[in-house]
Amino acid sequence: MATRVFLAESGLRPEAIGDHGSSLGIAQINRPHWGKVDCNLLEANCNLKLAKVIRDDSGWWPWSVYRNGTY
């Protein structure tokens, strides 16, 4: 599931920056979550680490491609 969602979100590119700079990295982590880790979210390991925390807390619902079925 993670591969499908993150492929749809960023093309699996660690350097991906979403519209208006509010989503970063492979998992396209949104601004409200940025302070949950002390690392560079454009680095793959950091981004995926936080994505797991978000997924463990909220399931896949925070990712719009999951909600709208475009993954």
Show the domains of the chain with their CATH numbers. 2-67 (1.10.530)
| Mean pLDDT, rounded, for 15-37 | 94
**pTM score, two decimals?**
0.91
Averaged pLDDT of the chain: 95
Q: How far from each other are the two terminal CA atoms of the chain, in whole angstroms?
A: 9
CB-based burial of residue 51 (10 Å sphere; 0-12 exposed, 13-18 middle, 19+ buried)?
Answer: buried
SS3 call for 66: helix
- Check residue 10 and report its DSSP letter: H
| Nearest partner of 51 among 69, 70, 10, judged by Cα | 10
pLDDT score recorded for residue 19: 86
